[in-house]
Chains A and B, each alone.
Chain A
Amino acid sequence: MTIVNTKLNRRSFLKVSALAGGGMVLSFSWLAGCKPTSKEMLEMPKEWFELNNFIKIGENGAVTLYSPNPEFGSNVKTSMPMILAEELDTDWKNVFVEQADFYPERFDRQFTGGSQGIRQGWTPLRTAGATARAMLVAAAAQTWNVSASEITTAAGQIEHKSSGKKAHYGELASLAATMEVPEEVQLKEIKDFKIIGNSKKNVDGVKILTGKPLFSLDHKVEGMKYAAIVHPPAFGMKLKSFDKNSVSGMPGIMDVFSVSLFNDDYNRNFFDTTTFPEIIAIVGNSTWEVMQAKKNLKVEWEKAQESTFPMAGRGGATITATVPAGLENTSSHKERMAEFTAKPGNILRKDGDPEGEFKKAAKIIERTYTAPFLAHNTMEPMNCFADVKGDKAVIYGPTQAPEFIMGTLVQALDIPKENIQINLSRMGGGFGRRAYSHHMVEAALISQKVQAPVKMVYTREDDMTSGVYRPTYTATYRAALDENNNLTALHVKAGGIPETPIHPNRFPAGALDNYLAEGWDIPSNITIGAFRAPRSNFIAGAEQSFLDELAEEMGKDPIDFRLELLKRAETNPVGKNNDYDAKRYAGVLELVKEKSNWNSPKDNVHRGVSAYFCHNSYVAEVVDTVIKDNKPVVENVYAAVDCGIVVNPDAAANMGEGAIVDGIGNAFFGELAFENGVPSKSNFDKYRMIRQKESPKKIEVHFVQNNEDPTGLGEPLFPPVFAALANSLYKATGKRYYEQPFAPQLEMQNLKM
């Protein structure tokens, strides 16, 4: 039995009354957004009683649950309310889910990213559900004059068995809402879960399939204007001047002006990454008209000097951030990365005497892996709706991280935080990109300038060429082997533009007596940001490809070799601070071995394996490729995942499948290069995305069954795919793949891609 103290998260249990005057708006978009069906009409309560910030119950038993985190496709809008509904002990059929707007006073962590939604929401959401249930039980106990301990609940019904008294939640909701919030509540036993662990369909499913407005791009209000932006054509360039007259006569064009996002003295935060702090806005009557004007606008750009600005560093200190000048090229990036690879880096971890072991090694294997910049390419381009009038602002847009853009909005608009309402739209993809929400500031400034509601839309070209990319990386792995072919030391040196991808305390650290990890980085004016499993999305591919080659060199089965290393890390770990659980790590390898029938692959199937730990979860993957009509085809991918309790299994599998497809796509095709600061690709005609034909023909996602609290899921299936694919292609073609993307090399081998 788990008893939790509700005070842990006291903020969430403030009564509504305590918020009076706080500007709380309860919106019911299922009422306003689409016409309710007659069934919904019947179900529509006349009155709602709010039991806490997450839960409202109607007098007829209907339940509204607020989903606190922004939704970008990871299905938190369904799975987080499932956790609430479980502990509330209600019937999922009677639940309506509402997207909560951004209310930091009411909800703890309205951030979608780092695969932490369910992990960090788990206990608070369970506690909120259990507290509401306890208040309903207390109301029943008072009404029936019986002891609360004799009362049971199930599927939204309350019962006192010995007296035969029964009621549904709605009948007791008004009294329950006045009850004292209990100090402690009891959470359900895992074995009693009825909703968690049973797949529920996407709560927005019907709206998505019927084309209802869900995204900010779909938003429209009376009198709304449309805006397009024009940004510098290259990194390292800035605005010099523009000629308003070049477009002012064009149909539907109202105004052209520039906006600047930051005041000079503003102390930027980590998520204030912005490539072009000054852009031009074109405002008009329709999207098409402003996009046409965009093509005609005459602008002069100039080279930007090196710039500096104050920024919040670690631990609250203010640091000075520097953006270098210059128009950068991929060819010179490659040269500089090779230079850095050749000289000593910063030592990030050292165990034993790796240098000594390399000196006396009988054999040294050294391999270098590289990967390019990547664009996120969310399907819905950056956009935002803003309505700024006088000293009030309403912003409705796609953001993973509303709390990190609030301060930026405050300084840009010079409007106090209390007067800025950020509403969260469903996002057409995020992948990390929308943790950086300067599009919201741009839209807000444009609206403020014209004092009218505005919807600002990036073209795909704007979206793809305005930065915040996955960095480019390179990693060199070295292994020392003795005369008996035993691994005696491992050395990794890895860096990138502008960061190192190394997680120094991750496997294989901890499994080797002699281990050295070095990092380096090269500054750049090309902006980068989180991209599905930052850093892991590269280093996993390098590390797991190298271990594969090493296993072959040592004459070992690649799974057995990894299991041996993990056994060492489990039984006699080297060093402190190892950040993984070797046993759970081994568990996913064992599961994938079993599920893929590792030792007896089908004829003509070439398989590769890989495993990785990130975002607190463990994943092992086996990729099967075949060569069909001279073309590599991914036949099957088996994934074994340990992310603790799985809340919504089918949706979890869907996301896992998506991460695998994403990884295979980026491994084969993903690439963004630069020439004189200009990105080499600006739309999907050149930027090759994985499509239906290249998708694996089958994916099996297997979850380890255990009772651990849930951990990350949106990211962990992504990093291991790169190496599993590379290792499988090696079996198919006899060549190792060190350089991403793989398609050009495969084409050189006369394979069709």
Chain B
Amino acid sequence: MAQYNLNINGKSLKVDVDTNTPMLWVLRDHLDMVGTKFGCGIAQCGACTIHLDGNAVRSCQLPVSAVEDAKITTIEGLSENGDHPVQQAWMEHDVPQCGYCQAGQIMTAAALLQQNPSPSDEEIENAMNGNICRCGTYLRIKAAVKTASQKL
């Protein structure tokens, strides 16, 4: 067990956990931030996507010991009132079915648009390819990314 000072959603938070604990479980079990989801645990599905210094990363493969100096953003902190352009676009297209993958999809999309505000179809497909949606909402995801890109 070790103490870690983490910078999450602009707040400084302390946790006392095993060095190897992935950020996914630090968030979910220790900090009660459950918006970040568990899907596969091996960086294959994207459900656990968070931002690490603005980049989309899979938190299930990110040990807490590796992030102490980094700025972390989770779905809970993407916007103050749920009104990030990506969230708004998701609402407009009523994207979710079961909804379980959507926090991860949104985090990947938000990081993409941060780096590339007007991505082409192909760039969207490449960036979003790591996020599985078992319900098959891919077309709405793509449309919502485009809508958000126009709003940025």
Tell me the A residues contacting B by CB distance below 8 Å. 72-75, 199, 201-202, 204-206, 208-215, 217-218, 220, 226, 251-252, 286-289, 291, 377-381, 426-431, 457, 459-460, 650-651, 654-655, 657-662, 665, 683-685, 689-693, 695-696, 698-699
Contacting A at CB under 8 A, from B101-152, are: 101-103, 106, 124-126, 128-142
Q: Is A695 in contact with B96, judged by CB distance below 8 angstroms?
A: no
Q: Which single residue of chain A is at the shortest CB-CB distance from B89?
A: A209
In the complex, A210→B107 CA distance in Å?
11
B66 within 8 Å of A (CB atoms) = no
Nearest CB of A to B8, in Å: 13
Contacting residues, chain A, for B90 (C-beta < 8 A): 205, 209
Q: Which single residue of chain A is at the shortest CB-CB distance from B44?
A: A684
Contacting residues, chain A, for B130 (C-beta < 8 A): 691
Q: Is A426 in contact with B33, judged by CB distance below 8 angstroms?
A: no
Q: Which single residue of chain A is at the shortest CB-CB distance from B82?
A: A210
B65 within 8 Å of A (CB atoms) = no
- Indicate which residue in B29, B75, B76 contacts A288 across the interface (CB closer than 8 Å): B29
Q: Is B137 in contact with A211, judged by CB distance below 8 angstroms?
A: no
B47 within 8 Å of A (CB atoms) = yes
Most chain A CB atoms below 10 A, which of B17, B41, B47, B142? B41
In the complex, A208→B32 CA distance in Å?
16
Q: Is A692 in contact with B129, judged by CB distance below 8 angstroms?
A: yes
Nearest CB of B to A225, in Å: 11
Give 8 closest A-B pairs by Cβ, nearest first. Answer: A211-B35, A661-B136, A428-B100, A73-B98, A211-B75, A658-B136, A695-B138, A208-B99
Q: Is A657 in contact with B44, judged by CB distance below 8 angstroms?
A: no
In the complex, A689→B22 CA distance in Å?
24
In the complex, A222→B22 CA distance in Å?
23
Nearest CB of B to A209, in Å: 5
Q: Is B134 in contact with A429, judged by CB distance below 8 angstroms?
A: yes
| Interface of A: prevailing SS | loop
In the complex, A273→B38 CA distance in Å?
25
Q: Is B100 in contact with A683, judged by CB distance below 8 angstroms?
A: no
Contacting residues, chain B, for A72 (C-beta < 8 A): 98
In the complex, A692→B1 CA distance in Å?
39
Q: Which single residue of chain B is at the shortest CB-CB distance from A665?
A: B136
Q: Is A683 in contact with B44, judged by CB distance below 8 angstroms?
A: yes
In the complex, A212→B76 CA distance in Å?
8
In the complex, A691→B21 CA distance in Å?
28
In the complex, A201→B91 CA distance in Å?
8
Q: Is A220 in contact with B45, judged by CB distance below 8 angstroms?
A: no
Q: Is B136 in contact with A209, judged by CB distance below 8 angstroms?
A: no
Nearest CB of A to B7, in Å: 18
Nearest CB of A to B128, in Å: 4
B69 within 8 Å of A (CB atoms) = no
Contacting A at CB under 8 A, from B46-65, are: 47
> Contacts A380-B100, A429-B100; is A654 near B76 (CB within 8 Å)?
no
Nearest CB of A to B21, in Å: 5
- Indicate which residue in A204, A217, A651 contacts B99 across the interface (CB closer than 8 Å): A204
Contacting residues, chain A, for B25 (C-beta < 8 A): 286-288
Contacting residues, chain B, for A659 (C-beta < 8 A): 136
Q: Which single residue of chain A is at the shortest CB-CB distance from B32?
A: A220
Q: Is B100 in contact with A684, judged by CB distance below 8 angstroms?
A: no
B30 within 8 Å of A (CB atoms) = yes
Nearest CB of B to A61, in Å: 25
> Contacts A288-B29, A692-B131; is A214 near B137 (CB within 8 Å)?
no
Contacting residues, chain A, for B18 (C-beta < 8 A): 251-252, 288-289
Q: Is B136 in contact with A692, judged by CB distance below 8 angstroms?
A: no
- Encoded as 1 (CB less than 8 Å from any A CB) or 0, chain B from 74 to 99 comes to 11101000100001001100111111
- Indicate which residue in A74, A206, A211 contacts B103 across the interface (CB closer than 8 Å): A211
In the complex, A654→B138 CA distance in Å?
10
In the complex, A632→B146 CA distance in Å?
24
Q: Is B100 in contact with A379, judged by CB distance below 8 angstroms?
A: yes
> Contacts A211-B35, A379-B101; is A692 near B125 (CB within 8 Å)?
yes
Q: Is B98 in contact with A427, judged by CB distance below 8 angstroms?
A: yes
Contacting residues, chain A, for B38 (C-beta < 8 A): 217, 287, 381, 457
Given contacts A209-B82, A684-B42, A692-B129, 16 further A-B contacts (CB under 8 A): A73-B99, A204-B96, A208-B102, A210-B75, A211-B36, A217-B37, A286-B29, A288-B18, A429-B134, A457-B38, A459-B41, A657-B136, A691-B130, A695-B136, A695-B139, A695-B142
Nearest CB of B to A566, in Å: 29
Q: Which single residue of chain B is at the shortest CB-CB distance from A211?
A: B35
- Indicate which residue in B36, B106, B137 contacts A657 across the interface (CB closer than 8 Å): B137
Contacting residues, chain B, for A212 (C-beta < 8 A): 35
Nearest CB of B to A699, in Å: 6
B67 within 8 Å of A (CB atoms) = no
Q: Which single residue of chain B is at the shortest CB-CB distance from A698?
A: B139
Contacting residues, chain A, for B33 (C-beta < 8 A): 211
In the complex, A193→B82 CA distance in Å?
32
Q: Is B100 in contact with A693, judged by CB distance below 8 angstroms?
A: no
Q: Is A287 in contact with B28, judged by CB distance below 8 angstroms?
A: yes
Chosen A-B contacts, 14 in total, with CB atoms closer than 8 Å, are A205-B90, A208-B99, A208-B103, A211-B34, A211-B36, A213-B34, A289-B18, A429-B134, A457-B38, A460-B42, A650-B94, A651-B94, A690-B136, A691-B130
Q: Is B142 in contact with A692, judged by CB distance below 8 angstroms?
A: yes
In the complex, A226→B44 CA distance in Å?
24
Contacting residues, chain B, for A691 (C-beta < 8 A): 129-132, 138
- Indicate which residue in A211, A226, A379, A650 contacts B39 across the interface (CB closer than 8 Å): A379
Contacting residues, chain A, for B135 (C-beta < 8 A): 73, 379, 429, 658, 662
Nearest CB of A to B43, in Å: 9
Q: Which single residue of chain B is at the shortest CB-CB distance from A464?
A: B40
Q: Is B75 in contact with A202, judged by CB distance below 8 angstroms?
A: no
Contacting residues, chain B, for A657 (C-beta < 8 A): 136-137, 139-140
Nearest CB of B to A675, in Å: 21
> Contacts A210-B35, A286-B30; is A661 near B138 (CB within 8 Å)?
yes
Most chain A CB atoms below 10 A, which of B29, B41, B100, B124? B100
Q: Is A75 in contact with B97, judged by CB distance below 8 angstroms?
A: yes
In the complex, A234→B96 CA distance in Å?
35
Most chain A CB atoms below 10 A, which of B90, B124, B136, B140? B136
In the complex, A691→B25 CA distance in Å?
25
In the complex, A55→B143 CA distance in Å?
36
In the complex, A516→B130 CA distance in Å?
47
Q: Is B42 in contact with A685, judged by CB distance below 8 angstroms?
A: yes
In the complex, A693→B133 CA distance in Å?
12
- Indicate which residue in B47, B94, B134 contacts A654 across the interface (CB closer than 8 Å): B94
Nearest CB of A to B19, in Å: 11
Q: Is A428 in contact with B29, judged by CB distance below 8 angstroms?
A: no
Contacting residues, chain A, for B78 (C-beta < 8 A): 210
Q: Which single residue of chain B is at the shortest CB-CB distance from A218?
A: B34
Contacting residues, chain B, for A199 (C-beta < 8 A): 94
Most chain A CB atoms below 10 A, which of B21, B47, B98? B98
